[in-house]
Structure 1
Amino acid sequence: MIQVTPVPAFTDNYIWLIGNTDNPCVAIVDPGDATPVLDALTRLAKQPVAILITHHHRDHVGGIDQLLQAYPDLPVYGPANEKIPHLNHPLTEGADVHLEALGLNFHVMELPGYTAGHIVYYGEGSLFCGDTLFANGCGRVFDGTLHDLYASLQRIAQLPADTQVYCTHEYTVDNIGFAKWVEPDNPALDARLEESWALLDAGHPTVPFELGREFDTNPFLRTHIPEVIAKAEEIAGRETHTPADVFAVLRIWKDTEYD
């Protein structure tokens, strides 16, 4: 059975250790900083067997060098279309990553938008999605496009509703704040906010989260909802014509007015 451990890093990052309940091996997802990972490996008596990278940003790849100094034989998986340090297993759409030591398999999806070559890992009922989808939100566009990001989120939305989503930042409460700008009368947001604060106050992350819950609270997955469309048209000062248009209005609004 899959067992995933969060390793907090920087101010709001999560590095994930993917393991199972049967052995001490783990795969490391997006190690932006090696120090907390090395500390966790020692504390938990875990042996790393792979590094999985979703995209090229420094807070996701910055720890690779130091980890390879400690564990020189670790394979580094990551997007073939981005520059990843020490990448020796480049991945494209449809590839599979079989972690033999763990008995786990992950399917690779190319989901550009946040960055042009962003990939995610899906398997074992879990999605390791880097910075594409967040709880109640999504990543902004860096070197991808709004069109690509919208399409990528729609692909995620087709996954089973009970998928456990492991994003890489603790942005949930802040994202709910923006979602309430979009839908101030959505009671599901109030419930999600109360739950999120309870988790944080108890010292627990708000991640992972169940994908299906996002359809009630995440404005970027609710671009077909009349209230969300109305808010987008109010902000844009014009009619919107497609859910993708609604998405673009909301994402630009968040970038320019909220963040």
Structure 2
Amino acid sequence: MTILPLPAFNDNYIWAILHKSNNEMWVVDPGDAKVVMDFLQQNNKKLIGILITHHHFDHTGGVKELKEYAKCPVYGPHHLTELVTHPVSNTDPISIFDRSFETIETPAHTLDHLCYFSNTHSDPMLFSGDTLFRGGCGRLMEGSAAQMLTAMNRLKALPDDTKVYCTHEYTLSNYRFALSLEPDNQVLIEADTHCQNLRKQNTPTLPSTLRLEKACNPFMRTDNRSLLARAAQQINEPISTDNSQQFAQVRRAKDAFS
């Protein structure tokens, strides 16, 4: 399969999953139906499935129109009864062409958030929605720091070479914050320089890899004492002694960062 980003709104990506030998495709988090419809028509593609990671409108706004147009199945959280035809929860499998994806519940950004992971081929991949970004994680809009820490630990356990397809182009702002916590992290410095160059060419910085996230992403590095010290200093707090509260301090530091 081939995976392409379809830019939407200011910084969203709708991921198009294309069959390698026919005209069928799936999409992940189609917030804008027109973006997908234009791609289908311009490339003579047939939409045969939709994945939803969570309920926010910039991820679901185009689902109703696309479902009615394509008469295709929609996989996603159980409570989205008007949109989802196939509700899924933790460990439920989904078949997309010749690959099987496992559903991973990651409540934190929203309580219904799902990620989709495939390791049935030599190139593992993760559709992480708004849970894991390149260099960051989603804001805690409904869930807790403890839940997001659990999600980060769950995703950290996936293979290092897993490609991470998140749904926002937040990389440069995430790296600015990460560098404020780890200014001497050479992997991070090189990744930031590379992404700066990509964005100058209007090229997406995605996908990332879990190996890179574990080396650069502060929300996957909250066991680093110096990182925690800088985050706590930025919000004028002493370092907490509790792991989830330490994670919360890093998240609050990011929320306050300018």
TM-score category, normalised to shorter length: over 0.9
Measured in 1, the distance between the counterparts of 2:186 and 2:244 equals 25
Q: Secondary structure at 2:23's aligned position in 1?
A: strand
Shift in alpha-carbon separation, 1:151–1:44, aligned structure 2, 3 A: same
Structure 1 residue 258: Cα displacement: 1.7
Q: Are residue 232 (structure 1) and residue 247 (structure 2) matched?
A: no
Q: Is the 8 A contact 2:145 2:245 kept in 1?
A: no
Counterpart residue identity of residue 162, structure 1: D
Residue equivalent to 1:254: 254
Shift in alpha-carbon separation, 1:131–1:84, aligned structure 2, 3 A: farther
Q: Are residue 83 (structure 1) and residue 80 (structure 2) matched?
A: yes
Deviations 1:66-110 (A, max 9, x none): 212321x21111011x435421101011100113xx222111011
Shift in alpha-carbon separation, 1:202–1:83, aligned structure 2, 3 A: same
RMSD: 1.5
Count of residues paired in the alignment: 253
Q: Are residue 95 (structure 1) and residue 92 (structure 2) matched?
A: yes
The two structures have a TM-score, normalised by structure 2, of: 0.93
Structure 1 residue 236: Cα displacement: 4.8
Measured in 2, the distance between the counterparts of 1:208 and 1:74 equals 26
Q: Is the 8 A contact 2:67 2:74 kept in 1?
A: no
Structure 1 residue 128: Cα displacement: 0.4
Moved more, 124-133 or 232-241: 232-241
Residue equivalent to 2:37: 38
Measured in 1, the distance between the counterparts of 2:98 and 2:239 equals 51
1:55-204 equivalence runs, <5 A: 55-71=54-70, 73-80=71-78, 82-83=79-80, 85-99=82-96, 102-124=97-119, 125-204=124-203
Structure 1 residue 163: Cα displacement: 0.2
Unmatched 5+ residue regions in structure 1? none
Counterpart residue identity of residue 113, structure 1: A
Runs ≥4 in structure 1, deviation > 4 angstroms? none
Measured in 1, the distance between the counterparts of 2:236 and 2:146 equals 17
Measured in 2, the distance between the counterparts of 1:220 and 1:89 equals 32
Q: Is the 8 A contact 2:127 2:166 kept in 1?
A: yes
